[in-house]
Structure 1
Amino acid sequence: MGWVLVGLVVLISIIPVRLTVTNYQVLAPQAIFVLGGASDRMEFAAQFWQSHSNLDIWVSDFPRENEANRQIFLQLGVPLKQLHLDGRPTDTVTNFTTLADDFVSQKLWHLYLITSDYHMRRSRVIATVVLGSRGIVITPVAVPSKGVISESWVRVVRDFGRSLLWVVTGRTGASFNNRNS
């Protein structure tokens, strides 16, 4: 048990070092990463892209949403060649885990992360662990929402643990999440 704890401490301490090095080497975001779950996020991301049109957009959402998301981006002028739709996730943790290695293979080390303001705290925690373990930095961009309360710390802590589980084992513990969020 003691070695496991030491291993986790070492793992957690390596992530900030990797993020600091990446932040120093790659100052500006290289792509836009949008978490699915709401069409207003897609519209916001497409409008955000208008002033960052040199960047590709990566969307992680349920597969049933891919066509609707594609239509939103096309209607707002985003070319298909700059749009990457991933339909593998089942929840917020897998939004990150399904694309982490794709980002590495594409040499994307700094991403704009777009999600709703109430969802940003948990998303940043997951991104720090999952993407940070790969040396990928995020710059958060929150989509404003009205009257929605930030997610609970219980969900944040749960998904922090699930993210660590993925870094250590390659498994997300998605079966622990019965809400698929």
Structure 2
Amino acid sequence: MMLRIGLSGQRYKPTRKNRSRTRALLWRVSLFAILAGTVWFSYKQVRTYVSQPQAVLVLGGAPVREVFAAEFAKEHPNLEIWVSSGSNPEYSEWVFSEAGIAPERIHLDYQAVDTVTNFTTLVDELKARDITCIYLITSDDHMRRAQVIGEIVLGSRGIAFKPISVPSGRDTEPIEKAIRDGARAVLWVIAGTTGENLIEKLKGHD
């Protein structure tokens, strides 16, 4: 590539040596980025593995998740359970009561309107309670999207999570949903909004 420099009309042609240096620099930067990403991913994996969950977060959307969570809570008697926009209170309370779960362990929250807000409406409450690791319960077909959002929203508050999937018999959701909601989660971390109003407007024009 020929480049014009100054006002003299002279042209500069990159030498083979300069091109080699540029390629070497790009290679080093790329290698550093890969190594940094690998170290960070490994750290996250180890941290999640060794962390002991202090609570359970159940994402609403299917009554079977609460039934599963009630049985799970019996096996983890020291954990409190948050259910984000699940079934109506009467049904949820009945499910946990039938499983013998004390009502003071259950926190029913109905602020969320979708999967992204399942996380954003509760993450600061979890943080305020000094919770650093949770069990995340949702359906298996929904888990990929939940994990993407969780890594961003929970991760922004230093909260790790261990996914617990509830069998649904359905195929995993399209990856486009995970990408879209991942972008909304990033927007929330940066600007404090999830863009749910924009999503509703777009749906209205479908």
Q: State the TM bucket, normalised to the shorter chain.
A: 0.7 to 0.9
Q: Alpha-carbon deviation of 1:38?
A: 0.9
SS at match of 1:121: helix
How many Å separate the matches in 2 of 1:168 and 1:21?
24
Query: Which residue in 2 is equivalent to 1:164?
Result: 186
1:152 aligns with 2:178: no
Question: If the length of structure 1 is used for normalisation, what is the TM-score?
Answer: 0.82
Query: Which residue in 1 is equivalent to 2:92?
Result: 69
1:60 aligns with 2:90: no
Q: Alpha-carbon deviation of 1:24?
A: 7.3
How many Å separate the matches in 2 of 1:28 and 1:116?
22
Query: Which residue in 2 is equivalent to 1:23?
Result: 47
Change (3 A) 1:87 1:26: farther
Query: Which residue in 1 is equivalent to 2:62?
Result: 38
Q: Is the 8 A contact 1:113 1:139 kept in 2?
A: yes
Name the aligned partner's letter for residue 116 of structure 2.
Answer: V
- Listed as ranges, the gaps of 5+ residues in structure 2 are 1-36
Query: Which residue in 1 is equivalent to 2:115?
Result: 92
Aligned to 1:47, which of 68, 71, 80?
Answer: 71
Q: Which has the larger radius of gyration?
A: 2
How many Å separate the matches in 2 of 1:25 and 1:155?
27
- Listed as ranges, the gaps of 5+ residues in structure 1 are 1-12
The answer to which structure, 1 or 2, has the higher relative contact order (CA under 8 A, 6+ apart) is 1
Q: Alpha-carbon deviation of 1:21?
A: 10
Which deviations, in whole Å up to 9, do the C-alpha atoms of 1:130-167 show, x marking residues without a partner? 00010000000000111x11111111100000000000
Backbone CA RMSD of aligned residues: 2.2
